[in-house]
Amino acid sequence: MSRRRTWLLAASLGNLLFLYAPVAVLIVFSFNASRLSATWQGFTLQWYRVLAEDEALLAAVQNSLLVGLASTVIATVLGVCAAVALERCPFRGQRVVEGVLLLPLVIPEVMLGVALMLFFVSIQLPLSLVTVTIGHAAFNVPIVVVIVRARLRKLDPALEEAARDLGASAWQAFRCVTLPLLMPAILGATLLAFTISLDDFIVTFFTAGPGATTLPLKVYSMVKSTVTPEINALSAILVLVSMALVGASLVLQRKPVRA
Amino acid sequence: MLAGWLLAPALCWMGVFFVLPLALVFVISFASRGTYGGVEWTFSLANYLNVVDPLYLKIFLRSLTLALATTVLCLVLGFPLAYYIARLPVRWQGVWLLLVMIPFWTNFLVRTYAWMFMLRAEGLLNTLAMGLGLIASPIEILYSPAAVLIGLVYGYLPFMVLPLYAAIERLAPSVVEAAWDLYAPAWAVFWRVIVPMTKPGIVAGCLLVFIPSLGAFITPDLLGGARTMMVGNLIQHEYLVVRDWPFGSAISFVLMGLVLAGVMAYVRAEGSRRELEVRR
Amino acid sequence: MRDRSTSAKTLLVLLSLACSLFGCQPTPEDGPKKTPQAGGDAGRPMPTLHYFTWSDYVDKALIEGFERQAGVKVAVDTFGSNEELLAKLQSGASGYDVVVPSDFMVSIMIGQGLLADLDLTKIPNAGLVMERLQRLPFDPNNRYSVPYLWGTVGIGYNSEVIAAPPDSWDILWDIRYKGKISMLNDQREVFGAALRAAGQSINAKDAAVIAQARAKLLDQKRLVKTYTSENYHQLLAFGDVTLAQGWGGAVARAMVERPAIKYVIPKEGGTIWADCLVVLKTAPNKGLAMQFINYLLDREVAAKTTERLLFASSNREAKALVPERIRGNPAVYPPDSAWDRLEWMTDVGDAVRFYDQAWTELKLQ
């Protein structure tokens, strides 16, 4: 029994090492004084300074946040409405509608990218941040639908019915009873959509036009052309941001009601 | 009625920005290419016939092989981890799950770059291994299929671990204990008890890894070098290098067909799981 | 578990929103832009010039020089090959003002009707283009284009490994360097190397000749580590490859990192190329575009460009201002003795299909 446990623990720690070693190495070498970065030549913060002064990079961060926020808002509004409709008001042809709404989750991303590009070209909508946002919203709507619907399915319809019995209108019942109960799922979906938008490379790659360079596009061109410690520094920041977010959530997560 | 109003915005959006573009790709896949790119509207099946040309078939086979290898490796690596997490005290489960999740929240390009950094000829792994006297001269891993495989496994391992964990957590430890108590050999406990009872998780994890691996673009592009183009890169090549949109469209549709076939398999598996649960 | 991860995500949303509010004070790229000297002009948008150029042609200081001088904002996007540039423009990326295609691509773009006439009265520096780059066949009167940076394609090699300077393209087919060779990720240049090695013109249009070159390249592929136009200077400098087909300037960059790197133009000859400044027909800011072109061609700016990017400027007066170590570098300025064996790349018309097909086969093999 205990040998099995030891073996499992070793395998699990091996997994974690595999997941974290490359990232840890990146971060360590972001402080390396050597430009050629393969060997350690002393500590420096120089690369972070370079990063802070890189205006093109800051502009890319800005673009990413803009696209992320806009596409998330669109996807959340459309997705929540659709989820409620699908779950609460069954209708004929529902399976087809569900199919259309879920297909983007399973088709290869490259496909969505080229399809959108061809479409924008043929309706002569110039590629820009707008087209990128449209594309991101297109893959984010299904994500919101799935998450919110899963939550809705678990809610007891009796709660809303009780409110109706007590004289609330359909809208009041939804707003005062269902919506608050849905809120965690909605926020969760929003966050996921936002993260996926920030991280997306492929759809953006095909739909971005002049001045619409987002952070992933920028990182891609940096990684492709020159491997400099500047990219290590940028990576370190991105990794630490995601760790800080996840870590903070871990701390706060202990407070909520659930024992 | 109300349903209609609630659904309309999302449906319109997805209709215009998803169904229509897909339909356009479908139509274009039957056209042919102009000299400097662009599309000539003459109907032909040539693009689809072209896909089965050994040249392109090879790319599909390579992508399938790499995607399968990635899936298997993720399963082998991820299962012990998921099992370990699922058997931890609840408090610790959260911590470990977050540790698995953090890489998932980290930018994919950054994670791929980390391996470029590790794998170069004068990169860290080679420098270390040579310093320790393990190897005499640098091993050339960067720009090889092996590098792509490492990158894919690294990128998608969390996708495997999470559904596996969910399935194993649902499996009551007493069931496994019972098997041990009945003196079942280890392999039987694993293959006869654990695997069948966590099958839905295994299938879900495999699909979640297989689908993105099959259509991968960034990993083969950055880690692959000369001999490791995958379907995703082929599509990009057709669109943005040789500008043969019709052929690129045909390849996209074939790729989509492959993926949908996988999803169908999943839906069937999911259906049988539901039945199982109902019966229980 | 589901509930817990949901509340975790909730928190993440709030945090990321907070980050976006605090982290990024508005320096919008596309939104309306206030001029820095926000006196009476406040509220008037600052014009933005959209510049689409090669990924190794970007230099922040030079761009900032123009931003200061003209009081505008320059947004730079980059591409990695002529084909990618054309594909991007064809796929509706209108909105760029100035782009930088190479010679043969200029003639394709003229043919496609993508380019606007240059207003040479606004580009007086176009008169300073060096003799050898004047009246180029694809645009003899600079109606659409002015040469900007130019150079050659040759072989960069690591002299720690290869002591005797290679003098032929054949070295790229030498089995001893298996896995230590990188080729450009550029169909015309890769075929150029094979065609030249076989004693043919880089502009071959004959299907049989192209097929021969294709066979030669397919044979070479097992030796090639990667096809890249972007980071071979680092591969050379890091020791990942020993031989790289490359643009002179990029090899010169590798020399800075690792002095043992050397550059040769093989005896069979190589490509001479000129990347040209052009204005798109769809450019929103044509006037500003002309002004920008004139700025890039200015004597001082041109010399600085060459000094920083290590690609030779077309301005005939610039060379004298460039430091000696760069002026004497054959990777930047080809020696006079090499000129006879250099060839311009031209549009091959319909034969481009053969190249496309063969290139796809090569990449997929």
pLDDT number for residue B274: 62
pLDDT of the residue at C4: 41
Closest Cβ–Cβ partner in A20, A39, A84 for B6: A84
Structure tokens at C7: 């509340």
C296 φ/ψ sector (left φ>0, alpha ψ -120 to 50, else beta): alpha
Contact C4 A194 (CB under 8 A): no
Closest by Cα among C276, C277, C284, C291 to C97: C284
Residue C243, strand partner residues: C157, C181
The closest of B238, C234, C80 to A220, measured between CA atoms, is C80
Total length of chain A: 259
User: Rounded CA gap, A249 and A241, in Å?
Assistant: 12
**pLDDT at residue number B79:** 94
pLDDT at B273 over 80: no
At C39 the pLDDT is 38
| A interface test, pick of B70, B106, B130, B141 with most A CB neighbours within 10 Å | B106
Read off the pLDDT of residues C30-84 as tens digits, 9 standing for 90 and up: 333 333 443 334 455 678 999 999 988 888 889 999 999 999 999 888 888 898 8
What domains are defined for chain C?
Answer: 48-149+274-327 (3.40.190.10), 151-272+333-364 (3.40.190.10)
Structural domain includes residue B214: yes
What are the CA-CA distances from residue A120 to residues A111, A136, B19, C104 (Å)? 14, 14, 13, 28
Q: pLDDT at position B199, please?
A: 87
The answer to whether the CB of B33 falls within 8 A of the CB of B47 is no
B136 within domain boundaries: yes
Q: Do B118 and A25 touch (CB under 8 A)?
A: yes
Whether pLDDT at B118 is above 90: no
* DSSP H helices in chain A: 2-29, 46-52, 55-88, 94-106, 109-122, 129-154, 157-165, 170-173, 179-199, 202-207, 215-225, 229-253
**Per-residue tokens: B255:** 């790729």
* Per-position b or e across B49-77, b if 16+ CB within 10 A of its CB: ebbeeeebeebbebbbebbebbbebbbeb
Q: Which residues contact C159 (CB under 8 A, 6 or more apart)?
A: C165, C260, C261, C262
- By DSSP bridging, strand C312-313 and strand C145-158 are antiparallel
Chain A interface includes B127 (CB < 8 A): yes
Residue B225 DSSP one-character state: G
Cβ-nearest to A210 among C15, C55, C75: C75
The DSSP secondary structure of B161-185, one letter per residue, reads HHHHHHHHHHS-HHHHHHHHHTT--
Q: Which CATH superfamily is domain A55-253 in?
A: MetI-like (1.10.3720.10)
Beta carbons of C239 and B121 less than 8 Å apart: yes
Contacts of C81 in chain B (CB under 8 A): 241
The single-letter code of the amino acid at B74 is: C
Of B35, B123, B226, which is closest to C353 when you measure between CB atoms?
Answer: B35
- The mean predicted confidence, pLDDT, of chain A is 85
pLDDT at C232: 92
* Spatial separation of the C-alpha atoms in residues A70 and A76, rounded to whole Å: 10
Residues 172-231 of C with CB under 8 A from B: 179, 187, 221, 224-227
Report the distance separating Cα A97 and Cα C32, nearest Å: 40
Return the DSSP state at A43.
Answer: B
- Across chain B, mean pLDDT equals 87
Contact A120 C92 (CB under 8 A): yes
Beta carbons of A114 and B249 less than 8 Å apart: yes
Residue partners of B112: CB distance under 8 A and separation at least 6: A223, B151, B155, B218, B219, B222, B223
| Residue C83 to residue B241, Cβ atoms within 8 A | yes
Q: H or E stretch including B258?
A: helix B245-279
CB-CB neighbours of C356 under 10 Å? 21
Q: Which amino acid is at C211?
A: A
**pLDDT tens digits for B200-249?**
889 889 988 998 999 899 999 999 887 788 999 999 988 888 888 899 99
Distances (CA, A) of B218 to A220, B113, B226, B251: 9, 10, 14, 18
Phi first, then psi, for residue C284 (nearest 5°) are -70, -25
> Residues A30-57: what's their mean pLDDT?
83
Is there a domain that residue B2 lies in? Answer: no
Residue type, A205: F
Mean pLDDT of C255-259: 91
SS3 per-residue string spanning chain C: CHHHHHHHHHHHHHHHHHHHHHHCCCCCCCCCCCCCCCCCCCCCCCCEEEEEEEHHHCCHHHHHHHHHHHCCEEEEEEECCHHHHHHHHHCCCECECEECCEHHHHHHHHHCCCECCCCHHHCHHHHHECHHHCCCCCCCCCCCEEEEEEEEEEEEEECCCCCCCCCCHHHHHCHHHCCCEEECCCHHHHHHHHHHHCCCCCCCCCHHHHHHHHHHHHHHHHHEEEECCCCHHHHHHHCCCCEEEEEHHHHHHHHHHCCCEEEECCCCCEEEEEEEEEEECCCCCHHHHHHHHHHHCCHHHHHHHHHHHCCEECECCCHHHCCHHHHCCCCCCCCHHHHHHEEECCCCHHHHHHHHHHHHHHHHC
Nearest CB among C179, C353, C364 relative to B56 is that of C364
CA–CA dist C138, C142 (Å, integer):
9
Nearest by CB to C76, which of A56, A117, A249?
A56
Return the number of CB contacts < 8 Å for A and C: 136
Q: What are phi and psi of C61, to 5 degrees?
A: -60, -40
Q: Give the phi and the psi of residue C244 in degrees, each rounded to 5.
A: -140, 125
Mutation to test the A interface, candidates C77, C231, C253, C261, most A Cβ within 10 Å:
C77
What angle is formed at CA B57 by the lines to CA B56 and CA B59, rounded to 5 degrees? 65
Q: A227 versus C113: which is more confidently predicted?
A: C113
Query: CA Rg, chain A, in Å?
Result: 23
Q: Position of tokens 């990720």?
A: C185
Look up residue C257 and give its two tokens. 């990192």
Interchain proximity A221–C56, CB inside 8 Å: no
Query: Is pLDDT above 80 for C132?
Result: yes
- The closest CB to that of C364, out of B35, B55, B240, belongs to B55
Tokens of A151: 């939550």
- CB atoms under 10 Å from CB of B201, counted, come to 24
Tens digit of pLDDT for each residue in C142-180?
999 999 999 999 999 999 999 889 999 999 999 999 999
Of B194, B154, B153, B199, nearest in space to B177 by CA? B194
Confidence at A253, pLDDT banded by 50, 70, 90:
very low
Give the pLDDT confidence of A81-129 residue by residue, as tens digits.
999 888 887 788 888 888 888 888 888 889 999 999 999 988 888 888 9
Percentage of chain A surpassing pLDDT 70?
Answer: 92
Q: Which residue of C has its CA nearest to B62?
A: C364
Residue B263: helix, strand or coil by DSSP? helix
Is A77–B19 a contact, with Cβ atoms under 8 angstroms apart?
Answer: no
Total number of residues shown for chain B:
280
Region A71-77: mean pLDDT is: 95
CATH number of the domain encompassing residue B121: 1.10.3720.10
Cβ-defined contact of C364 to B36 (cutoff 8 Å): no
Segment B100-124 mean pLDDT: 85
Confidence of residue C323 (pLDDT cuts 50, 70, 90): very high
The band of C312, judged by pLDDT with boundaries at 50, 70 and 90, is very high
Domain that residue B90 falls in: 45-279
CA-to-CA separations, C251 to B31, C311, C325, C326, in angstroms, rounded: 42, 10, 14, 12
Which pLDDT belongs to residue B279? 54
**C222 pLDDT band (50/70/90 cuts)?**
very high
pLDDT at residue C18, rounded to an integer: 38
Strands of B219-271 (E only): list them: none
**What ranges in B15-107 are assigned the alpha helix state H?**
20-28, 46-51, 54-86, 90-105
Q: Enumerate the residues of chain B whose CB falls inside 8 A of the CB of residue A224.
A: 222
ipTM at complex level: 0.86
Taking CA atoms, what residue in A is nearest to B120? A38
Would B75 be classed as within a structural domain? yes
Q: Which run of H or E residues covers position B14? A: helix B2-14
Instruction: Tell me the pLDDT band of C353, cut-offs 50, 70 and 90.
Output: confident
Q: Total domain count for chain B? A: 1
Pairing of strands C145-158, C270-279: antiparallel
pLDDT score of B280 more than 60: no
Dihedral of CA atoms A223, A227, A228, A233 in degrees, nearest 10, equals: 50
Q: Which chains touch B (3 or more CB pairs under 8 A)?
A: A, C
Minimal C-alpha gap between C189 and chain B (Å): 14
Burial (0-12, 13-18, 19+ Cβ within 10 Å), C169: buried
The pLDDT, as a whole number, for residue B254 is 93
Least confident range from A232-246, B21-35, B44-58, B73-87: namely A232-246
What the block records as the tokens of A172 is 């009041």
CA distance C6 to chain B (A): 12
Of C261 and C9, more confident:
C261
- Highest mean pLDDT, choosing among A35-44, A47-56, A129-138, B163-172: A129-138
Asked if residue C21 has pLDDT above 80, the reply is: no
Q: For residue C92, what pLDDT band results from cuts at 50, 70 and 90?
A: low
pLDDT given at position C171: 95
Chains that touch A (3 or more CB pairs under 8 A): B, C
C-alpha C57/C-alpha C151 separation (Å) is: 13
Closest CA to C143 of C169, C118, C161: C118
* B21 falls within a domain: no
Closest CA in chain B for residue C108: B36
In this complex, the residue of A62, A128, A213 whose CB is nearest that of residue C24 is A62
Instruction: Using a CB–CB cutoff of 8 Å, tell me whether B129 touches chain C.
Output: no
What's the pLDDT score for residue A80? 93
Q: Min CA distance, C198 vs chain A (Å)?
A: 31
Contact B165, B108 (CB under 8 A): no
Report pLDDT for A37: 58
